[in-house]
Amino acid sequence: MASEALQQVIAGMREGNGPDFSGDLEEARQDFDTLLATLPVEAELEFEAMKLGGVPALHSKTGPAHSGALIYLHGGAFVSGSAHGYRGLAANIGKAAGLVTYALDYRLAPEHPFPAAIDDVLAAYRALLDSGMKPDRIAIAGDSAGGGLALAALAKIRDEGLALPAAGYLLSPWADMTCSSVTMASKAAEDPALDQAGLQVAADHYLSGTPADDPLASPVYSDLSGLPPLLVQVGSAEILLGDSLAIAARAGSEGTHVQLEVWPEMVHVWQAFAFMLDEGQSAIHAAGQFLRGRLAGEH
């Protein structure tokens, strides 16, 4: 039985205040920004606008300067969202992990289609390496589209021959632009946040002619061997549940350490509602423990 707080979250999502990616894109972007603006941010958190490898970012000193860094990639179906809108979630994860945080404003489609976002993540990662930060003191995390982007970026970092970061943390990742997972249909009635039609339109914007099963555009079809340890968190009430299951199956079968957590009754990126959901706080705490362990060299 869903808690009263979770029922409130679900009711709010079902009121229709979220973005409709199948409709007018600018309206969807505005609706999403309006929704993100309702999420409270802890007053003591401070953010500095900067550029990391030429990519706009919000930097937050959520850990000691020497501790390492978390690169955070926001959601928004590759066509909307911002570092500002997700700054609270990114910083809360950084605090839990004891890392300074860089929330990236990677380029969005359709103005900048695939692979622009991946290029931006690699530019930011290279900048951290060039600054002298050790790769085993860096983690990459992201939610929804940002979760799929984080996974794709890890594969690209490996393919480029760069030293790999210590870990990846994927929150309700969208990693299959074919939108063909069985849970797209089987979880449609339960999911109050997303629908297949909207994701398909957003995917078309992002792909701009690239095949939907391109391994970097849809990392569920990528070679996931040789990646750093992964933590994947997903709710049981998500149409994207299948993406997480596919990631875990592929990564695990290819010898990559992957920890999959399916949280009963949870909705898309419930961690963003940690200010009212105990499960959100618990998920972020678990992620912090995972990241601390990986950065400490535990495997």
Distance CA 130, CA 133 (A): 7
Q: Could you say which of 144, 172, 218, 244 is catalytic?
A: 144
pLDDT tens by residue, the chain, 299 residues? 789 999 999 998 888 667 899 999 999 999 999 999 999 999 999 999 999 999 999 999 999 988 999 999 999 999 999 999 999 999 999 999 999 999 999 999 999 999 999 999 999 999 999 999 999 999 999 999 999 999 999 999 999 999 999 999 999 999 999 999 999 999 999 999 999 999 999 999 999 999 999 999 999 999 999 999 999 999 999 999 999 999 999 999 999 999 999 999 999 999 999 999 999 999 999 999 999 999 976 54
Is 238 catalytic? The answer is yes
pLDDT of residue 66: 86
- Note down the domain range covering 106: 4-295
Residue 35 sits at φ, ψ, to 5 deg, of -65, -45
Determine the 3-state secondary structure of 213 from DSSP: coil
Question: CA separation (Å) from 233 to 128, 210, 258?
Answer: 26, 28, 11
Determine the 3-state secondary structure of 188 from DSSP: coil
Q: Which of 137, 132, 152 is nearest to 243 (CA)?
A: 152
How would you classify the pairing of strands 100-104 and 55-60? Answer: antiparallel
Distance CA 178, CA 221 (A): 10
Distance CA 243, CA 152 (A): 13
Order of all β-strands in the sheet with 230-235: 48-52, 55-60, 100-104, 69-73, 138-143, 167-171, 230-235, 258-263
CATH number of the CATH domain containing 39: 3.40.50.1820
Length of the chain: 299
**DSSP per-residue codes, 5-45:** HHHHHHHHHHTT-S--TTS-HHHHHHHHHHHHHTS---TT-
Distance CA 206, CA 216 (A): 12
Q: Could you say which of 74, 172, 218, 238 is catalytic?
A: 238
Give the number of domains in the chain. 1
pLDDT of residue 167: 98
pTM for this model (two decimals): 0.97
pLDDT of residue 17: 67
- Could you give the angle at the alpha carbon of 271 between the alpha carbons of 87 and 97, nearest 5°? 70
